[in-house]
Structures are given as C-alpha cells and as structure tokens.
Structure 1
Amino acid sequence: MKIHKTGRTKRFALGSTVALAVAGMNAPAVLGFATHQYHQYVINRPEYKAEYGHWQTLTLPAGFRVNAVHASLLRTGKVLIVAGSGNDEKHFDAGTFRSLLWNPADNTYKLVPTPADMFCGGHASLPDGRLLLAGGTQRYEKLAGAVKRAAGVMRVRNESPAGARTFPRGTVFVGPNGREYASTAPVTVPAAVKSGSGRQTVVTAGEQHVFVEAVGEGADWVAGSPAQYRIKGLDGADAHDLYGQSAKLTLDKQEYQGIRSAFEFNPDTELYEQVTDMASARWYPTLTGLGDGRVLTVSGLDDTGEILNGNDNEIYDPGSRTWSKGPDRYFPTYPSIFLTAAGKLFYSGSNAGYGPADKGREPGVWDLATNGFQPVPGLRDPDLTETSSSVLLPPAQAQKVMVLGGGGVGESPSSTARTDIADLSAATPAFTPGPDLPAGGTRYLSSVILPDDTVLTTGGSSGYRGRGGSDLLRAQVYHPDSNTFTAAAEPTVGRDYHSEALLLPDGRVAVLGSNPLFADKAETTPGGFEQRIEVYTPPYLFHGERPQVGAAPERAKLGGTVRIGSTRPEAVTTAKLIRPSSVTHVTDVEQRSVALDIGARTADGVALTLPANPDLLPPGWYMLFVTDAAGTPSVARWIQVTR
C-alpha cells in the first residue's frame, strides 16, 4: 500500500527542533506550549493547507447545541441535524426532542419543533427534495439489574370478525393469579378472518403484539410460563373474544423499542409533516431510495425490543404518502444497502449493531423483483463488519462499493484495518482487497465522496465506542484511480459512535457528533456527547481560482442535455451530480457521484448530458459540481433530476 506521509514526518521533525530550543529552560509547560504554537504555525501555512487541507472547529451557543445523531443535507444547502432525545433518557422521559437546522454558508441556525423521538430512526431524500424520516424510540433499554417491574410481549387476540379493536396505552391485562400488567403503547388488533361455511367454518383470530409491564415491582410479578390474560374492563362477548397471551414476563434486560411514526421534513416551511405510520415499529432501520422514487425500509427493533425478522420490510410511496409490504429479507440493524445501476440492491455487509452473529451478515445482491439473493464472496474479516463504513465509489458508473474497517459483534474489542472493494459490474461480483487503513483497526469511520472523485475518510476509534481513549485523530483521502490513501490534515475532535460526516455545497466537509462511553483513557468518567462541529476544507480549495457555474437550469431530465454558463468553459474537465448525504451511525446509502458527459463548449458555457438510467441516477435533487484539470471544484448548483 502506498501512503503519503511527508507532512506528518515534517511535523514531528519541526516539533523536535522546537523541543531542542527550549529544553534548557527545564519547563515542561513552556515546552508543550512552544510545540503547540509551532504546530499551529505549520498547519496554517498556505503550502501545508494546499497539500493536506485544513480543519476549523465550530462551537454553537449553548442553547443551540444538540446531540447530532442524524444529519441530512437539504436542497436549500442547510443541514438538518436530528437529536430526538439524543441518547439521553432524561430528555426522553421529559419529552424533550430536538432538531437543529444549520446553514453552513453563513453559520446561522435555528431549532425546529420535533414532534416525536426520532432518535435512531432512518431517513432518505425524496424526489421533490423533502426528507423522509421513519422510526425512532418508544422506550429506552433497561439492563437486567435496573428492571424493577416484570415485563414482556403480550399477544393480543381478537376472535370476532366484526371489526378491529383499538386499546389505549395503559390497558390492563389480568393473569390467572390476578396479577395485572399494563400496556406501554396503544395497540390495534385486526378483526378475525372467517372462512368456509356451516360445519366447515374456520375463524382465524386477528392478532397484534404490545409490550406490557407489571403494575407492581418485584419478583412476585414474574410469570415464567405461557398463560392467557383477560383484558380488564371487558365483559360479555368482548371478554370472550378479546384476550392476551404471553409466553413469559420477566425481570430480564429490556431492549430499546421502536415507533411506527413517519414524517416528511419540508425544506420550504422547515417543518415536519406527519405521514402514514409504518405497519411495523422500527428502531435502527435503513431507508434506501429506489429508481422509481419510492423508498424501501428494512430492519430495526420493533415496539417490543425484538429485531424484525425480515417479513416486515416496507416500501413508501411519496405520491400517496402510504406504505406497502416489501419483499421478505432479513438484515441486522442499519444495514448498508445501495441501489445498483441494474435496479437491484447491494448489501455490503456493513451494519450497526443488533442481530445474531450468524444471521444476515453475508454481503450480496438482492433482486426485489424475484426476491433472489446472490452472495458476493471475498470480503476479508467477514466477522468484523459491524460499525464499518461503506461507500459507492465515484463515479457511480463504475459500480464499485468499498467496505472500510469495522468491528466485532456487539461490544467486541476487535477491529480491522481492512478495506475491500466489490465490483458490481462484473458478471459474478466479488470483493478484492483494497489498501489497509493507515490508522490500523478502525470502527465508526466516516467516508465522504468529494467532487474531485476521491473519498475523505476521517475519525473513528480502534475500540468499541472509543473505549480506552481509542479515538483516532486521523484523516486520509482514498484515490480510486490508484487504489491508495494519502494523508490529510488531522482533525482535533475525536469521533466514534453516533458521529456523521457530509459534503457541503461549497466543497467542504462537515463532521458532527460522537458519543463515547468514557471521557478518559482510564474509563473512570462517563463520556459526554460531542456537540462541536468540525469543518474540513480540502486541499483543492487552496489551489487558486475555482471554476464557475453561472446560469444553470433548476431541472433536468434523465438522458437530457443541459447547458450551464461558465466564465472559463475551457477549464471545465469533469462534471458530476452528487446526491446529498443523509447519514447516521456511519450509514450513508444516499450519497453517490454520477459523472456527466461534457459536450459542446461555447465562449460562455458547456453542454452536459445526464445518464438516462434512473437506477444509476435516482430522481431527486443533486449538487452539480464542475472541476478543472487540477481537481478544483466549483461551488455546487442545485438541480432537480426528473424522469
């Protein structure tokens, strides 16, 4: 592997020179200060920035700081930062759910009313520029020692074909021994289905589950064997037809629970708009946009804390704002699933945490039309794909997906430096080795496509949630053309769990969030949520004059040709449409960079032709960048791609 380290070596050499100059002073504090000052001098030199780029740290006023769990770039150029309860149970209990709208162009910001706890939901852009958000948190996990009330899943059954019945949160189920258990959410039970006639009549009860909790504390409320429960307050035929069944109610650990709620965020009104609920509750789902403008959602923990088994995938139609059932396929939570140019979906193996180690971990190509699944072999360290990063390498026409780093299942301390690349254009796709990550084993690495057809990778930690002070203050740039990494300027803020990074319309990269378990290497102090934003300015923005995009259409059709204005059309060597990121838990299946064909040039502009394939270039809003021969990009212009 070829890694460019010149700047890093130079930094340490210069630092040593300073150390020699002040060593005779016998003053460690002065030594440290002098070294720091000289380091600041070096990294702020124009020649250093032109080779490695530059980082800037932003600290918002206290009232506007949120725990950035989700970040999505909108077609207005603003970034929607969603915290929800922000992994803070006190905020959850208080119903304090937060979102921040940040404009990086002028560093302005405002809080947005947030109607539900979208913490650990999923999101994807829609063709009209709205952002779909689905799922979130209904209940926080409780560890075994902290569980005071016996709880578990109650299957509520309806033997009447007369109609569905809805029971509010707090509905009480009474066991054979008189113990009472209350539901923690409302539940609607479908009507029974009647088939046949006469003696051949068969009634199949309607059924829906709900989580229940004992009304009293202690082991006396544990129900360790299956039982039937009556619903308090019902009598007559209702008492006979409607009842609950539970296998067991225990004091065991309780997992996070998801919600069914879904919303669209409107970038014009800058408000959330509620849409039809999903059929299944989801916590840690992935949403992937399809070529026809619909959105597939898979996986997640349901409203009882169980991982969805794969027969509950759903597809959202933005036209009707409703959901329909999708093909059956099981995945662990937050799976990285990319739309391919063939209209199929590629699961890279990357995921973010919940699910058994021996199920749903194999990468492969999923055909939604036939529900077939073709495994893609060759991924090294296949047991270390949790908290790994995956990216559709630029240009998207190459149909190559890279998997970077990752760790073992759950709280495993293991991590890997492996990068592998799957060529999906091959007749039989397979992974081939890429260069190892320069920092070694890395979890939670962020990967961002840049307008010069490279990928910035930054942050992460070698340990689970940064344990043992293992955050990696490193960044590097991957070059698909040479299959190598080169060094980038080093960030100053550690980033691990619950961190995000995304490309901005001006060509910079914003990095947000981080939620380490501990604040110190000795693991004696609980970690806090990182609320500072770092912005990386790549080297290409220190190389002189940028290409300009003048007049440009607001819309362009697939397969069509558009003409853009430019003061230096002869300088334009590449053009691409980059889809805005929507990222959480190192999962960003939205970003893609699609190359455009450059046609005729005139004295004041250039003609650009779009691909005709909606599975390569899904309808929606994109950032149009042009670059010159040195890779210097223009400021993006927003264009809506339509069918």
Structure 2
Amino acid sequence: MIVVPASLADLPGTWELLVPNAGIASMHTAVTRFNTVVLLDRTNIGPSRKMLRRGHCRVDLNDTVLKRDCYAHSVLLDPATKQLRPLMILTDTWCSSGQFLPDGTLLQTGGDLDGFKKIRKFAPCEPNGSCDWEELEDVKLSQGRWYGTNQILPDGSVIIVGGRGANTVEYYPPRKNGAVPFHFLVDVEDDQMDNLYPYVHLLPNGKLFIFANNKAVLYDHATNQITKEFPPLDGGPRNYPSAGSSAMLALQGDYSTAVVVVCGGAEYGAFIQKSTDTPAHGSCGRIVATAANPVWEMEDMPFGRIMGDMVMLPTGEVLIINGAQAGTQGFELGSDPCLYPVLYRPDQPVGLRFMTLTPGTVPRMYHSTANLLPDGRVLVAGSNPHYFYKFNAEYPTELRIEAFSPEYLGPDRANIRPGIEEVPDTVRYGEAFNVIVSVPLPVVGIIEVNLGSAPFATHSFSQGQRLVKLAVNPSVPDGDGRYRIGCTAPPNGAVAPPGYYMLFAVNQGVPSVARWVHLVS
C-alpha cells in the first residue's frame, strides 16, 4: 500500500441557518422528488418539540415514557418556504434503514421493539399536500432489522443487508425464500459488532460491493454467491460503531469502472471501553472495486473524524461534513466536534485531494445527517448523542437545520451558473435526449449533465447514494443565451437503478438547480 500525506488548504463555503427549530432531531433524512425533506427520529424518544395535529396521538402501552404520545417524531420540511408539517409514524424507527423505490416512494424498514420487522412507506406529494407515513400490515420483514442497510437493485427491487443479530439479506418486494444467509457478516463480526450498517454499493456490473468492519466482498445477489474477496483495509474497523463513512465515486465514461472510498473511524476498543476521548483516525482507503486485482490506496484527511457524512456533490467531488475527532458512535460517546467540512477532489493527484472548508458553529455529533438539495446546497440536520432529548448538555439535542453552500454557489460564480430551461420528465435507458440550458456568459468548454440520486442518510452512510455523469455532446447555441446539450441516458439499471434523479447541468464546476427526471426501462 502507498501512504501519502494530506494537503491542508482553505476554501470558502458559507453556512445558513435554515430552520431554527425543526421540532425533532433527525436521525434519518431523505430528500423527495417534490423538493421536500423527510426528517425522522425514534418514536420512543419521549416528548419532541413538535406536536402532532390536534386529535392525532400514538398509543403504545409498551412505551416506558409516553403511553399516549401526541408528539411528532417525523416531520416534512419544505426548504423553499421553511415550513414544517408533522407526520405520523407509529412504530419504532430507531437505527432503521431506507431507500427510494422506482416510483419515488420512500421505503423504510426495521428498527427496534415494535419496529423490528416493520415495513413502512412514504409516498411524497406537493409541499402543500397531506401525504403521510403508511405502515404496512400485510407484509413484514422475514427477519428483524436493526442497523441494516438498503440498496436498490437494477430491477428496482431493494436488498436489505444485515442488522444486529441478522447476518442475512432479504428483499423488497419479499421473495419466496425470505431471509438468505450471508456468512460474510458472521466472519467480520467482533466484540464491538463492527458489522452493523454495512456499506453497500451497487457496481455497474450489477454486483454489490459490501464492506463491513475492515473487509469487503463482491456479492452476486442473483446467485447469493461471494465472487471476490478484497484485501483488508488498514486502520481498523470502519462501520458502526466505529463510525467511518463510505461513498462510491461518480460513474462516467463507459461506466465499466467503479471506485469506492472509505474514510475515518474510531480506534478499535473505544466503543468497548466507552471512551469519549480516544482520538479518531483520519485515514482513507480508495479502491477500484471493478479491477481484476484491486488494492487499497491510502491517504489521510486533514482531521481525524468519526461520524462524518460523505455527500456526493453534483460536480463529482465529495463533501465530508459533521462528526467528531474523538470517541466513538453511541450515546454520550463522542467529543471534540469536527466543525470543518472537507472537500475530497477525486481527480486531483494523491496527496492533494483534501481541501479544508469554512467551519460551522453547531456541533453535529451522533445521529446527525447531511443530504444534497436540488439547488446544490447541503442540508445538515440532527445530532442527539443522548437517549432522550436533552438540552442542558455540552452537546445538546440539536433541533436546528442548516444549509452549507459549497464554493461553487459563491457570488463570483453566478455569471457562469447554468439554468435548466427544458428537460424531459421521463427518460429511458440508452435514450438520446436534449437538455436546454441558459448561461449568463458564453459557454467555454463542455457542460456536463449529471444524475444524482436521493439517498437515505443515517449513521454516517447515505444508503443508495449515486452520481452518474452522462455522455454529452458539446453544447450548441440555441438563441437568446440558450444552449442545447445532447445527452444519452444510462445504459441499464446496474449503472443507474430505475427511479427519480436530480439532473444537474454543470458548467466549469458550477451546477444548476436540478430538475427531477424519472429514469425508466
């Protein structure tokens, strides 16, 4: 392995307080195709700071805190108006998992207690609509899932991987064989249970790259076979509760190559010892998951970090944000918040990829999230390192929602920021289509057209996160400052599973406001 030093440099970026009080601390966050944001917490957290609609209460005689609970534990945020609407969630969603289905419905699975085998759906609607959570009664998980991971597959079904005491995989819609043993999760389990919330990435060859603890395998979900074992990653365990993060870099070109990055984590033993001050490490491993003989390329972030969130930006760069510099995941177990976001620039030479950005002021510790918004900002929410809501603490339960604007949204870039004027609502695999954009200044070079998924963010991993750079032709003037860009949709569901994507036009590193496009077969 080649270990290279990190580069530390300053790059701008601005912070905005979007909502001073969301009413709940968002443990799970997802952006819908209506530009609204679903925020979701546990149900057995005690009183939140947002009431349900009058006459709507959750009754749970097994809840040790509130048997009749009239507080919201999920809300819907409209970032454009900053309005919040309480949602009704009935069963416990503590440390659960999620993924958007091809029709744009959010699938939400598992949790603790009465949510252990539960399947829920949220079919989003216009911001002024009345959509709400639906708890499925006629179908349940084959095995309880607590700390599991969801990933949409090429055919639009969803694989649900692992969970505490669940070393299996299963699918939604359910299949006849139910839960299928997945022995890799047994092999990597340790005293800390570092096989929880495994990192699952769908590769463009249709197989799954699954990482847990410090190891990864290539998994053929069609045959339930492990077809490759990757070399172990140096630096100790990376998954929950050791609190690293992972992202698959943008797919591009002929889509035959997929690169996975795994960054940060706690020192082994920090969770067992309940240590709050053991320094986190800042090592990152990068591997070409589709290579015949892949090896990890190692480098260091500017900061040791646990509980960081890795957000794929429309440009193909990765924002690493939130987290702490010491401790581990778990209630009351993190310290020394890492307030500096870091930009990972994958196309730069090794040793020059990490750039330090403008720091925030709000510690985002355990149970915080980060999600890309269609306007190019990153919504930052949550942080509750306590069993219940607690505000008189060094790191209190955090109800504020912020938005971080990367440098590409700075006023000095406004004259090259493209605006999307026309785009099809629906595109089919392999289809040629046009995107019409307007740009204040004449276009120099190629305008990219990139598809970004809307992942389910929780516990430092964005389930289903994906960025696909489309094949494009040079932009052609279309009159009145408009340009026509010929694009080709992804070839199949392995490159981009069916569903709704944010389509961005990117001019000289500056993204447009996205338009939602439905990718279908």
Q: How does 1:467-482 map to 2 (within 5 A)?
A: 467=333, 469-482=335-348
Alpha-carbon offset, residue 267 of structure 1: 0.5
Unaligned segments of structure 1, at least 5 residues: 8-50, 140-257, 302-306, 351-360
Q: Paired residue for 2:105?
A: 130
- The runs of 4+ residues in structure 1 deviating greater than 6 Å are none
Cα deviation digits, residues 144-171 of structure 1 (max 9, x gap): xxxxxxxxxxxxxxxxxxxxxxxxxxxx
Structure with greater strand share of residues: 2
Q: Paired residue for 1:532?
A: 400
Unaligned segments of structure 2, at least 5 residues: 47-62, 186-194, 479-483
2:13 aligned partner, one-letter code:
G
Q: Paired residue for 1:194?
A: none
Cα deviation digits, residues 377-400 of structure 1 (max 9, x gap): 041113354211000112364411
Q: Does 1:55 align with 2:59?
A: no
- Which residue among 234, 239, 247 is the counterpart of 1:391? 247
Q: Is the 8 A contact 1:124 1:131 kept in 2?
A: yes
- Which residue among 158, 166, 172 is the counterpart of 1:308? 166
- Which residue among 330, 342, 357 is the counterpart of 1:488? 357
Q: Is the 8 A contact 1:55 1:535 kept in 2?
A: yes
Q: Distance in 2 between matches of 1:280 and 1:467?
A: 29
- Which residue among 366, 371, 377 is the counterpart of 2:219? 366
Cα deviation digits, residues 393-422 of structure 1 (max 9, x gap): 123644111001012363454532110012
Q: Does 1:459 align with 2:337?
A: no
Instruction: Give the superposed CA RMSD.
Output: 2.5
Q: Paired residue for 1:562?
A: 433
Q: 1:73 to 1:381 in 2, by over 3 A?
A: same
Q: Paired residue for 1:406?
A: 265
Q: How does 1:205-216 map to 2 (within 5 A)?
A: none
Q: Distance in 2 between matches of 1:541 and 1:512?
A: 20
- Which residue among 372, 375, 383 is the counterpart of 2:229? 375
Q: Paired residue for 2:454?
A: 580
Alpha-carbon offset, residue 294 of structure 1: 0.3
Q: Distance in 1 between matches of 2:65 and 2:424?
A: 44
Q: 1:86 to 1:401 in 2, by over 3 A?
A: farther
Q: 1:563 to 1:279 in 2, by over 3 A?
A: same
Match of 1:348, SS state, is strand
Q: Is the 8 A contact 2:310 2:461 kept in 1?
A: no
Q: Distance in 2 between matches of 1:344 and 1:468?
A: 35
Q: Paired residue for 1:207?
A: none
Q: Does 1:610 align with 2:514?
A: no
Q: Does 1:636 align with 2:508?
A: no
1:406 aligned partner, one-letter code:
G
Q: Paired residue for 1:3?
A: 7
Q: Is the 8 A contact 1:348 1:403 kept in 2?
A: no
Q: Does 1:66 align with 2:28?
A: no
Q: Does 1:283 align with 2:146?
A: yes
Q: Is the 8 A contact 1:518 1:528 kept in 2?
A: no
Q: Distance in 1 between matches of 2:103 and 2:25?
A: 28
Cα deviation digits, residues 607-640 of structure 1 (max 9, x gap): 11012121111111000001112x0110000001
Q: Distance in 2 between matches of 1:498 and 1:593?
A: 24
Q: Paired residue for 1:244?
A: none
1:259 aligned partner, one-letter code:
F
Q: How many residues align?
A: 452
Q: Distance in 1 between matches of 2:179 and 2:443?
A: 48
Q: 1:93 to 1:528 in 2, by over 3 A?
A: farther
Alpha-carbon offset, residue 541 of structure 1: 0.7
Q: 1:593 to 1:538 in 2, by over 3 A?
A: same
Q: Paired residue for 1:115?
A: 90
Cα deviation digits, residues 403-456 of structure 1 (max 9, x gap): 0101236345453211001211211233221x312112x110111111121111
Q: Does 1:432 align with 2:310?
A: no
Q: Does 1:298 align with 2:298?
A: no
Q: 1:86 to 1:274 in 2, by over 3 A?
A: closer
- Which residue among 311, 316, 334 is the counterpart of 1:448? 311
Q: Distance in 2 between matches of 1:339 and 1:527?
A: 36
Alpha-carbon offset, residue 588 of structure 1: 1.1
Higher relative contact order (CA 8 A, sep 6+): 2
Q: Distance in 2 between matches of 1:636 and 1:261?
A: 33
Q: Distance in 2 between matches of 1:292 and 1:389?
A: 26
Task: Give TM-score, length-normalised by structure 1.
Answer: 0.66
Q: 1:131 to 1:518 in 2, by over 3 A?
A: closer
Q: Distance in 1 between matches of 2:27 and 2:197?
A: 13
Alpha-carbon offset, residue 289 of structure 1: 0.8
2:99 aligned partner, one-letter code:
A
Q: Is the 8 A contact 1:78 1:102 kept in 2?
A: yes
Match of 1:544, SS state, is helix
Match of 1:566, SS state, is strand
Q: Distance in 1 between matches of 2:286 and 2:306?
A: 17
Q: Paired residue for 1:31?
A: none
Q: 1:467 to 1:315 in 2, by over 3 A?
A: closer
Q: Does 1:267 align with 2:133?
A: no
Q: Paired residue for 1:155?
A: none
Q: Distance in 2 between matches of 1:491 and 1:120?
A: 26
Q: 1:294 to 1:284 in 2, by over 3 A?
A: same
Alpha-carbon offset, residue 326 of structure 1: 4.8
Alpha-carbon offset, residue 601 of structure 1: 3.9
Q: 1:323 to 1:544 in 2, by over 3 A?
A: farther
Alpha-carbon offset, residue 562 of structure 1: 1.4
Q: Distance in 1 between matches of 2:327 and 2:162?
A: 25
- Which residue among 398, 401, 417 is the counterpart of 2:282? 417
Q: Is the 8 A contact 1:574 1:596 kept in 2?
A: yes
Q: Paired residue for 1:159?
A: none
Alpha-carbon offset, residue 471 of structure 1: 1.2
2:237 aligned partner, one-letter code:
D
Q: 1:297 to 1:457 in 2, by over 3 A?
A: same
Q: Distance in 2 between matches of 1:553 and 1:581?
A: 22
Cα deviation digits, residues 94-128 of structure 1 (max 9, x gap): 44552110111222221112132222211001000
Alpha-carbon offset, residue 78 of structure 1: 0.8
Q: Distance in 1 between matches of 2:495 and 2:146?
A: 29
